[in-house]
């Protein structure tokens, strides 16, 4: 896992990805949200990677296999992202990406309250899929 882009404005401009969330009430504390994306890969050997940022914790699965997780102690105005290599989990045909995000949504000693959300860019073969 490597750290990447540092600014939310840069994140939003990357491949048209948007900061998304599942609930309309963004002020609710201790929120969990699940996101799912189905994509078709032409090959099981094509590279597949995920750039991901969340407020605050995330876990990623591809085709039911745990692929990685992360916690963000970044500041709301200074978002970062991780790059996960999903190549070992992708296969030719239909693939299912699952991302679980947790946001405590309360200031604490280890967390600065931000906007609950998820941002991602999934690159597989020559194709892209983004949070929208």
Q: How many other C-beta atoms can be found within 10 angstroms of the C-beta atom of residue 27? A: 9
What's residue 49's pLDDT? 95
Q: 38-57 burial, b for 16+ CB within 10 Å, e for fewer?
A: ebebeeeeeebebbbbbbbb
| pLDDT tens-digit series, residues 84-103 | 999 999 999 999 999 999 98
Residue 87: DSSP 8-state: G
Q: How many other C-beta atoms can be found within 10 angstroms of the C-beta atom of residue 10? A: 12
The pTM for the full model equals 0.84
| pLDDT tens-digit series, residues 15-68 | 788 889 987 777 888 889 999 999 999 998 889 999 999 988 999 999 999 999
């Amino acid at each position: 896992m490597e750290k990447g882009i540092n600014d939310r404005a840069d994140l939003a401009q990357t491949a048209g990805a948007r900061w998304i969330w599942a609930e309309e009430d963004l002020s609710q504390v201790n929120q969990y949200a699940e996101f799912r994306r189905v994509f078709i890969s032409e090959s099981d050997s094509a590279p597949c990677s995920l750039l991901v940022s969340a407020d605050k914790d995330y876990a990623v699965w591809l085709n039911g296999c745990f692929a990685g997780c992360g916690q963000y102690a970044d500041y709301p105005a200074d978002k970062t992202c991780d790059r996960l290599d999903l190549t070992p989990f992708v296969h030719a045909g239909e693939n299912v990406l699952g991302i679980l995000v947790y946001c405590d949504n309360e200031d604490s000693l280890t967390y600065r309250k931000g906007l609950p959300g998820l941002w991602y860019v999934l690159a597989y073969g020559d194709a892209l899929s983004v949070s929208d």
